[in-house]
Amino acid sequence: MSGSLEKIDPEVKEILHKEFVRQQNNLTLIASENYASRAVLEAEGSVLINKYAEGYPKRRYYQGCRFVDEIEELAIRRAKALFRCEHVNVQVHSGTQANMAVYQALLKPGDTILSLSLSGGGHLSHGSEGSFPYKYHRIVNYGLDRVSERFDYEEIRKIAKECHPRLIIVGASAYPRAIDFLAWRKIADEVGAYLLADVAHIIGLIVAGLHPDPVPYADVVTATTQKTLRGPRGGLILCRQKYASAIDKAVFPGIQGGPFMHVIAAKAVCFKEASQPEFKSYQRQIISNAKALAEVLKEEGFRLVSGGTDNHLVVVDLSNKGITGDRAAAILEEAGIVVNKNSIPFDKRPPFSPSGIRLGTPAVTTRGMKEAEMRTIGKWISRILYNPQDRLLRKKIKGKVKELCQKFPIY
């Protein structure tokens, strides 16, 4: 039982070290990734990992829950103040499970869900083929306007009136524009549907007041804590009081057993960090960095989905560049620039080899990088993508990426 990881399991220790070095020496431009603080890591790697606590504070199925109750109550208190919501569930393990809990709480099998298509930037858990809701519900998708590549509210209203959804989902994994949640509320009211806002990606921007807030308009809001919120990997459900009991029951015992109390402790730390004034300037810099990256890519001749960005991410259309998204992501990684392949609206290619890539700035902004670094990175990306045969160029840029990364340590 006693002994360090190094002593007990040097093999795992070594892999962890290699991953640390990878994170340190590469540029993470994956829009959904970030670096949690040391305080978050410490809370998650704590003795709370040892505790079972099925149930909710003061209503547990186990003894010995006095201190985990304190932790969960603290996390709830902080979350309610931070998100200005009536009720919060901090137990849900992930964003996908948060959405599953909402379906379980509000819908019956066979009910219709109206959600954004995958190629329009929607998330798998909103009902893509193979997902849990796809099996139990009727899924109808809306897309984006072909020209603006933004939500077309008239078209969405028309589809909603035709398909009579029980639930409308607004939220995306790859939508670079601001969302007008009031417009969505109006559509939901017109057709008598619940409105779920899945703001996993943009929750940090919302907390900082830099993106419209869904809480006043949506019946339920789901999110994750590891993306722009810069906390542990985990989910979050915010809702109106009238849904509180249904949501909590849907999480436990509906789809989960024992809550991860160590993760809830780390969420509490993340909520505290997100309530500090520095968090707002961090979020502002994320957006400025994304805009700077968008500008340089446009100057270099790349077409961006919707022409740019209002938030933390950029989707680059490579269909006129003779390179697929998967190949682009692979050669960028060879140069130490880590992105993901991504579908573009109305993509003619399949999701595993789509026409675009998605770039996000939360992680590089956490490292302290600013607009000047974004311009440098954008130019590197451009040179690599215009010269996919040039291995030597990638090797050269990899060296420069490492130099840049060393100026901005992750911890």
Closer residue to ligand DSN, CB minimum distance, 179 or 188: 179
Residue 258 annotated as binding?
A: no
Whether 52 is catalytic: yes
CA distance 162 to 159: 5
Alpha carbon of residue 257 to chain centroid: 24
98, 254 Cβ separation under 8 angstroms: no
Whether 56 is catalytic: no
Helix (H, G, I), strand (E, B) or coil at 221: strand
DSSP line for 114-150: EEE-TTTT--GGGT-TTSHHHHHSEEEEE---TTT-S
Residue 304 annotated as binding?
A: no
Closest by Cα among 83, 132, 129, 124 to 107: 132
Buried-state track 50-79, b at ≥16 Cβ within 10 A, e below 16: ebbbbbbbeebeeeebeebbebbebbbebb
Shortest reach from residue 362's CB to ligand DSN, in Å:
11
CA distance 201 to 206: 10
Q: Which residue type, as a one-letter code, is found at position 160?
A: A
Q: Which residues contact 193 (CB under 8 A, 6 or more apart)?
A: 114, 160, 165, 166, 167, 168, 187
Catalytic: which of 72, 111, 149, 198?
A: 198
Sign (positive/negative) of CA torsion 218, 222, 226, 232? Answer: positive
Residue 205 annotated as binding?
A: no
Closer residue to ligand DSN, CB minimum distance, 123 or 211: 123
Whether 62 is catalytic: no
Shortest reach from residue 314's CB to ligand DSN, in Å:
14
CA distance 325 to 318: 7
Whether 224 is catalytic: yes
Total site size for ligand DSN, rule CB under 6 A = 4
Structure tokens at 212: 């419209």
Closer residue to ligand DSN, CB minimum distance, 41 or 124: 124
Shortest reach from residue 123's CB to ligand DSN, in Å:
6
Closest-by-Cβ residue to ligand DSN is 32
Closer residue to ligand DSN, CB minimum distance, 171 or 259: 171
Whether 222 is catalytic: no
Closer residue to ligand DSN, CB minimum distance, 123 or 394: 123
Closer residue to ligand DSN, CB minimum distance, 112 or 342: 342
Q: Does 235 bind ligand DSN (CB under 6 A)?
A: no
Catalytic: which of 13, 80, 233, 370?
A: 233
Q: Does 32 bind ligand DSN (CB under 6 A)?
A: yes
Identified binder of ligand DSN from the candidate list 173, 222, 361, 366, rule CB under 6 A: 173
Structure tokens at 401: 């990426």
Catalytic: which of 54, 152, 180, 390?
A: 54
Shortest reach from residue 399's CB to ligand DSN, in Å:
28
Shortest reach from residue 176's CB to ligand DSN, in Å:
13
CA distance 128 to 159: 18
Catalytic: which of 33, 52, 284, 376?
A: 52
Whether 225 is catalytic: no
Find the length of the chain.
Answer: 411
Question: Of residues 269-308, which lie at the interface with ligand DSN (CB under 6 A)?
Answer: none
CA distance 26 to 411: 14
Closer residue to ligand DSN, CB minimum distance, 60 or 201: 201
Helix (H, G, I), strand (E, B) or coil at 337: strand
Residue 107 annotated as binding?
A: no
133, 113 Cβ separation under 8 angstroms: yes
Shortest reach from residue 53's CB to ligand DSN, in Å:
26
Structure tokens at 266: 């780390």
Q: Does 95 bind ligand DSN (CB under 6 A)?
A: yes
Q: Does 131 bind ligand DSN (CB under 6 A)?
A: no
* Residues with active-site annotation: 52, 54, 198, 224, 227, 233
| Residues in contact with ligand DSN by the rule CB under 6 A | 32, 95, 123, 173
Binding residue ranges for (6S)-5,6,7,8-tetrahydrofolate: 118, 122-124
